[in-house]
Structure 1
Amino acid sequence: MQTAIYEHSKAPPFKCGQIECGDSLSTLEYFEPYPVDTSVALATLLERFERDGQSLEISFRKLVSWMKIGERASHYLHPYPAKLLPHIAHFFLANHLLVGRDEIVLDPFAGSGTVALETILSGRAALYADANPLGRLITAVKTRSITSASLTSAGTEVRAAFSRSRARKRPDVVNLEKWFDSHVIAELVRLRAAINTLDDDSLREFMFVTFSATLRKVSNSDPRFSVPVRYRDGETRTQTSVTDTFEAQLETNITRMSSLGQIATLGEAKPVGDDARRLTTSDGRRQPDNSVSMIISSPPYASAQKYVRAASLSLGWLDLVPSKNLRVLEDKNIGREHYLKASWSEIAPTGIDEADTLIGEIAKINLSRAKIVNNYLIEMRAALMEAVRVLKPGGHFVMVIGDNTVCGRRFPSSEYLREMLEGMNMTTILSLIDSIPSRGLMTRRHATAGIIASETVIVLRKAF
C-alpha cells in the first residue's frame, strides 16, 4: 500500500529558486510552496480505509517526500514545544478533495502557527487560536509578510537605540537571577528597551520574537529540555554575548521571513481568540456558525506537556504575563496538570463509558492523575463542540493526536476524542498512524506517564 502511494506522490528534486533546499539558509531566496497535488495519494488512502476499516500505518515524511526536514519559510522563526510536523498539514492542504482553493482553514490549538503558516502558503485564509500569548505572537509574526529591507532597517534602529540605552529596569521574570547571569540581564534589559523604541507594531513584534528566541540561548537553562532546567554540575552554556547571539538570530530570521514576500498568492492569517472553547471575531463576537471549511489541529495531550512553564522566561521578558499570573494562564490551558488537592476527588462523568472506567482505575492508583485526565476529556469535549459549530456542513476536521500512558495504563485519547466527534454529527473517513522518531519535548512523568511514540491522524466529515 505504501509503495503505491509514494509513487503517486513522487516529484522531481525540489528546487528553491536557483538552489537546492538543502543549501545554506543564507542563500535561500524563493521556493514553490506547493509543488505537488496530493489528491491521488489521499484518494488511495481514503479508498483503502473505506474498504478495510482499519487505521493505516504511514510515514508523512515519506508521503510528502518533496518537503525536506528543516528550514521552510518562517516555520523555525522561534522554538516551541511539540510542534506539529509541517508535512501533515501540507499533505491535507495540497489536495482538492477535502478543501477548495479559496476556503478558510482553522486551527483552534495553533501553538506557534504551523497549520496557519502552511495554510497561507497554500494561498488560503487561516484562522488560529491558542491560550498561550507567546504562541499567538509567534504565529502572528511568522504569517505576516514584511520586506527584508524593512526588517534590516529596523535592525539598524535597534542597534543605534541599544548603544544609547541606559535602561536598568528589570522585567518581572520568575527566578530571574537563577536563569540569567547579572551581566546578561543588563544587556537584555538594554536590548529590550531598544526594541521598544520602534514605532511600527509589526517590526517591533518581529524583533521581540527574535529577542525571545535569543533568551534561552543566553540563559542558564539547558537547551536539551523544553522547560527551563539548570545545567548539571560541571556543565555550562557556551559563553557568547547577548548582542552577538541576537545578531545571529536576527540575520537568520530575516532570511526566513524573506521567503514569504516572494509568494504572490500568500493568504492571510487572523486570530480568533485565546480559548478553543469560545472562538471569537476581532470585535469579540462569537465566530459565526458554519464559517470554516476545514479544521487541521493537534489538540493538547492529556497531561503530557508543560506549555506555560516552557514559555515562562519569554512571557516575563516580553511583558506578556507577570510572574504572579503564570498559574492563572496555566489554568486556561486544556491538558494542564495542576489542580487544588481538595478538587482531586471531584471526578465527573465524561460521557464515554470506557473512559470513565479507566479513570476510575487510575484514581485507585493516583487520584491527582485521574483528575487531570478526567478534566482533560470534559474540557476537550467543549472545545470539539465549538470546532464542529463553526465547521461548514460537508467540511472536514483533520485531528492529530497521540495516546499516552497514565499510571501504567494506555490512555487512548485518539479513540475518546474520535468518539466524541462522531457523536457530534461527524463521520470518520480516514485514520492514519505515523510514528514519531523524536519528540524531545515529550517529558516522562517519573512513574506516572510514558513517552508518546506515535500520532494518530483522524479525518472526519461533518454531515450535510
Structure 2
Amino acid sequence: MAAEAAPTSSQVKTRDLKTWNFDADLQSLQEAYDANSSPISVNFRKLVPLGSGVDRATHLFHSYPAKLLLNIPLFFINCTKYSSPNDVVYDPFSGSGTVLVEALLAGRRAMGADANPLARLIARAKTTHITSDVIAAALDSVLSEIDNARQVPFTTTIKKDIWFSETNVSSLGALLYSIRKNTSGAVLDFLETCFSTCVKKVSVSDPRLSVPVRLKGEALEKHIAGSPDLIEHFTKVVISNCARLNKMPEGCISELHTDARQHHREGELKADLIITSPPYAGAQKYIRASSLSIGWLGMAPANRLRELEKLNIGREHFCKSDYNSENASVALSAEGVLKKIKAVNPLRAHIADTYLREMDDAAEGIVSRLRQNGHLVLVVGDNMICGHNFSTSRFVKEIFTRKGLTTTLELVDDIRSRGLMTKRNKTAGTIEREHVIVFQKR
C-alpha cells in the first residue's frame, strides 16, 4: 500500500516521507456506498498502516488535546480523486495542524483556521521550515542570555501559585524573557511552542489528563521529586523538535486564519480540498486544556480566559439569561431532541443549540472557501446528552446540505483513543464513533 519514494529537490532528510496511493481502497469504499447509500464501516488505522503515536514529521511537536487521527487526512489527501500536488488543502478547525502537516508532506499548499491562539502558534511552528543551524544559533543565544532578574510575568488568567513552585515561576519567566529578547518571527514561534511544551511538564498538573487538574498527596510529592530541570528539558525539546522540523519539505509554510466563520475574500486562494473535524458540543475544553500555556504566553484578551472561550464554537459557559429564549433550530431534524434535552437540563440544551447555530455560521464561511467541484471531508461524532442520542453528524450534514453541498460518501469509524475526551460528565455523554462524510460543491 505504501512504497518508499526517492527524495525530491523540495524534500530534506526525510526518513518518514512516503508516496502513498489509496485510490484502489477509495474505489472499493465508494462502490460499497453507492450500492446502498448507507454509511460504510472502516478502520482507518488498518486502512493507513501507521502505529499509534507514530513520530511522523512534526506531529509530536506538542501534546495539544484531541488531535485528529493523522491516518484520516493522510488517506484523503493522497487520493487523486480529491487533490493533486500544489492544490490547496484547508482545515477550518485546524487545531495544532495535523491536516496542514499532512498536506505539506504530500506536496500540497496548506491553509488553516482556529480560534485558539495557542493552536495557531503550534500549527505555524509545525508547518514553517527553519534550518537546523538557525535554530541552534537561536538556542545558544537564548540560553546564554537567561537572567532571573529579567522575567516575563505570568498573566492573571489563573492563579499561578496553584500550579507552579516559586522556583519554576522564576525559571519560566526568565526563559520566556530571553526567548522574546533574542528571537523573532518564525524562530520565536518555534521556541515559544517548545516553551509551551515544557509548561505543563514543570507544573503540578496531572500529566494523565488533558485539562489541568492539580495532583494531591503522594502523587503530588512523587511528581515534584521527579520534576525535570526546566532549562535541561527545554533544550531537549528544542533539539527533538528541530529534528522533526528537518523532516518537513524545505521552504514549507502554511497560511492561518483566526476563525472558520470568516468568508472568502476576493483575491484569496480557494481550497481544492477541505478536511476538518469540528469541535463537539461541549465535549472538549480546548481553552481550559491550554490555560497554563495561554497564561504564560499572554494570549487571552484582557487576560481573561472567559473572553477567549467566547470565540470558540462548542463552549459550555453561558449566563442563565442567555438560554431562556425560544427559537427554531437551524437544523430542523434537531428540534425534537433539543426539546427533550431542555426538559431535563435547559443549559445543556442551550449549549447544543448554540453549537448548531455557530456551526451554521461556520458552514457559510467554509463553503465560501471551497472551489466549485471541490470536496469537503467532515469528521464528526454523535454523543449522548442528558440520556438522549444527539446525532451531531446528521444535524451538521443537514446544515452543509442546505448550503448547497452534495454527499458523495459516508464512512463510520470507531474511536480508539484519539486523544478525545470521549468520557464526559453524565449530562454530556460519551462519543464512541465518528462519521467521515465527504461532500462535493457541484
Query: Which TM class, normalised by the smaller chain length?
Result: over 0.9
| Cα offset, 1:288, TM superposition | 5.6
Pair 1:366–1:243, CA change in 2 (3 A) = same
**Secondary structure, aligned partner of 1:404:** strand
**Secondary structure, aligned partner of 1:234:** helix
Q: Render the CA deviation track for 1:238-276: whole Å, top value 9, x for unaligned.
A: 22211122122122111111111xx35x654111x2111
Say whether 1:160 aligns with 2:144. yes
TM-score, normalised with respect to structure 1: 0.89
The answer for the alignment partner of 1:24 in structure 2 is none
Q: Render the CA deviation track for 1:153-186: whole Å, top value 9, x for unaligned.
A: 1111111011x45224522141100010101101
**Secondary structure, aligned partner of 2:438:** strand
**Secondary structure, aligned partner of 1:403:** strand
Match of 2:403 among 420, 424, 429: 424
User: After superposition, where does 1:378-457 map in structure 2 within 5 Å?
Assistant: 378-442=357-421, 444-457=423-436
Q: What is the distance in 1 between the residues matched to 2:215 and 2:68?
A: 27
**Secondary structure, aligned partner of 2:145:** helix
Q: What is the distance in 1 between the residues matched to 2:378 and 2:149?
A: 49
Pair 1:136–1:49, CA change in 2 (3 A) = same
Say whether 1:170 aligns with 2:190. no
| Cα offset, 1:148, TM superposition | 1.0
The answer for the alignment partner of 2:438 in structure 1 is 459
C-alpha RMSD over aligned residues: 2.1
| Cα offset, 1:135, TM superposition | 0.4
| Cα offset, 1:204, TM superposition | 1.4
Say whether 1:203 aligns with 2:194. no
Say whether 1:11 aligns with 2:2. yes
Pair 1:366–1:140, CA change in 2 (3 A) = same
Q: In structure 2, what residue type is equivalent to 1:269?
A: S
Match of 1:358 among 337, 348, 351: 337
Q: What is the distance in 1 between the residues matched to 2:338 and 2:427?
A: 13
Report which stretch shifted further, 226-235 or 195-204: 195-204
The answer for the alignment partner of 2:113 in structure 1 is 129
Say whether 1:294 aligns with 2:273. yes
Q: In structure 2, what residue type is equivalent to 1:241?
A: D
Match of 2:40 among 37, 47, 56: 56
Q: In structure 2, what residue type is equivalent to 1:171?
A: F
The answer for the alignment partner of 1:220 in structure 2 is 204
Unaligned ranges ≥5, structure 1: 1-9, 18-27, 281-285
**Secondary structure, aligned partner of 1:204:** helix
Contact 1:16 1:30 in 2 (8 A): no
Q: Give the % identical residues.
A: 36
User: After superposition, where does 1:19-38 map in structure 2 within 5 Å?
Assistant: 29-31=13-15, 33-38=17-22
Q: What is the distance in 2 between the residues matched to 1:139 and 1:168?
A: 26
The answer for the alignment partner of 1:270 in structure 2 is 255
The answer for the alignment partner of 1:25 in structure 2 is none
Q: Render the CA deviation track for 1:106-146: whole Å, top value 9, x for unaligned.
A: 11111011111111111111111100000011111100001
Pair 1:137–1:34, CA change in 2 (3 A) = same
Contact 1:347 1:371 in 2 (8 A): no
| Cα offset, 1:82, TM superposition | 0.4
User: After superposition, where does 1:74-223 map in structure 2 within 5 Å?
Assistant: 74-162=58-146, 164-168=147-151, 170-173=153-156, 174-223=158-207
Contact 1:348 1:374 in 2 (8 A): no
Q: In structure 2, what residue type is equivalent to 1:421?
A: F
TM-score, normalised with respect to structure 2: 0.93
Say whether 1:305 aligns with 2:288. no
Q: What is the distance in 2 between the residues matched to 1:287 and 1:35?
A: 34
Match of 2:231 among 219, 237, 243: 243
Pair 1:221–1:360, CA change in 2 (3 A) = same
Contact 1:290 1:389 in 2 (8 A): no
Report which stretch shifted further, 124-133 or 446-455: 446-455
Report which stretch shifted further, 209-218 or 167-176: 167-176
Q: What is the distance in 1 between the residues matched to 2:200 and 2:50?
A: 32
| Cα offset, 1:232, TM superposition | 3.1
Contact 2:201 2:227 in 1 (8 A): no
Pair 1:207–1:450, CA change in 2 (3 A) = same
Q: In structure 2, what residue type is equivalent to 1:355?
A: A
Pair 1:291–1:440, CA change in 2 (3 A) = closer
Pair 1:56–1:287, CA change in 2 (3 A) = farther
The answer for the alignment partner of 1:73 in structure 2 is 57
Report which stretch shifted further, 179-188 or 241-250: 241-250
**Secondary structure, aligned partner of 2:214:** coil
The answer for the alignment partner of 1:45 in structure 2 is 29
The count of residues paired between Structure 1 and Structure 2 equals 433
Contact 2:301 2:307 in 1 (8 A): no
**Secondary structure, aligned partner of 2:436:** strand
| Cα offset, 1:84, TM superposition | 0.3
